[in-house]
Amino acid sequence: MDRQTNCNRSIAVILNGPHLTLAKIGALFDQNRQNDVAYKLQPDYSDNGCLILRVKLPEKLVDTFINEFSSHLEQLDLREDEDKLDILIIDQERSECVINDQSDIRLCKGWRVRIVSPEEKPELYGSPKTLFLKKDANAFGTGLHPSTRLACELLLYLHSCSKLEKANVLDVGTGSGILSIFLAKLGVKKIIGADIDQGIIKAAQENAYLNQVNSRVSFTTLPLSQLQWTGVDGIVANLTPSVLFDLLDTMVSKLDRKGWLILSGHSPGLRDEIRQRLGKHHLHMVKHLSSQGWSAEIFFRS
């Protein structure tokens, strides 16, 4: 017997959005629980108002559960609030996000990420605001994590300010390549995604090819200090705090004298320390966002 297949997993679905929308979803699953459906979700509310649905089920049923959860949501008319609703599915014991083939993930402002199987070749025509990513458990960046969505929102802000046209951008800690691909779809001229893991870079290259942006996006495993590319128009970095602080000065050295920097992947409590460090390099914060305990900022060089 396959032990891994038959072990139970504790899954939590965390939803954040307008109160009435969350109440509608909570009532739906309360009703389903009373009707003795296959998955008995337990609705609960966190201290910050998020709706949390908890369920314990066998490993082999996780993908089925995600698909059926999405089908239940379609029973509700959420079209007006769809862009305001954040959904995060996590494995509580493994502390990791859960995705399945064909997962459709809301990114921001009408943009979505579609997770596809390694063999699938999706039809790109008619999906200008959809990013396609192959399912890869080792590459961070599916659009589920708040830090990825915050970085994308700030990139859209720069796009609205005409800061991305004809730009050259460095994506530090590229992971799945999601931010590099997003930049290419926004019209950025040249993007280099950097990560130290060769396996992750291979996955990012496949994702760029899948989205037909590989002519403008390239990837490297070179350490940032060895990368022979300076005077870049902008840098986006979704990094853990320890890596961020280690690389901060090196990133600044790559920037053009009028360049910009987007940082994500840290808590709002570190914002002042980051601002002080960058202020010494004449980089000043012009916009910041936060969500679910995560923060992201844009800095412009004055």
User: The whole model's pTM is what?
Assistant: 0.73
Structure-token match 């996590």, residue found: 90
Which of 98, 130, 162 is the last residue before a domain boundary? 98
pLDDT confidence band for 192 (50 / 70 / 90): very high
Q: Are residues 196 and 274 in the same domain?
A: yes
Q: How many domains does the chain have?
A: 2
Length of the chain: 302
More confident residue, 254 or 77: 254
CATH number at residue 195: 3.40.50.150
Q: Are residues 159 and 243 in the same domain?
A: yes
Tens-place pLDDT, residues 31-49: 655 444 445 666 777 655 6
Q: What is the C-alpha to C-alpha distance for residues 26 and 44, in angstroms, rounded to an integer?
A: 8
Q: Are residues 168 and 285 in the same domain?
A: yes
Which residues are CB-contacts of 71 (< 8 A; sequence separation ≥ 6)? Answer: none
Residue 214 lies in a domain: yes
Residue 135 lies in a domain: no
Closest CA to 284 of 263, 262, 299, 268: 299
Residue 131 lies in a domain: no
User: What average pLDDT does the structure give for the chain?
Assistant: 82
The H-assigned helical ranges of 77-177 are: 146-160
CATH number at residue 41: 3.30.70.600
- Asked if the model's pLDDT at residue 52 lies above 90, the reply is no
Q: Are residues 26 and 88 in the same domain?
A: yes
Residue 262 lies in a domain: yes
* Composition of the chain by helix, strand, coil, percent to 5: 35, 30, 35
Tens-place pLDDT, residues 55-79: 787 877 777 777 777 677 666 666 5
Q: Are residues 54 and 201 in the same domain?
A: no
pLDDT (mean) for 204-229: 94
Distances (CA, A) of 114 to 34, 139, 144, 178: 33, 15, 11, 11
Give me the pLDDT at residue 120, please: 72
Tens-place pLDDT, residues 139-159: 677 777 888 989 999 999 999
Beta strands in the chain (DSSP E): 8-16, 42-45, 51-58, 86-91, 96-97, 104-108, 111-116, 130-134, 168-172, 190-194, 217-220, 232-238, 255-266, 283-291, 294-301
- The region of weakest confidence among 66-80, 186-200, 227-241 is 66-80
Give me the pLDDT at residue 138, please: 58
Q: Are residues 82 and 162 in the same domain?
A: no
Q: What are the counts of helices (DSSP H) followed by strands (DSSP E) for the chain?
A: 8, 15
Domain with 46, as residue range(s), is 3-98
Q: Are residues 44 and 177 in the same domain?
A: no
- Asked if the model's pLDDT at residue 2 lies above 80, the reply is no
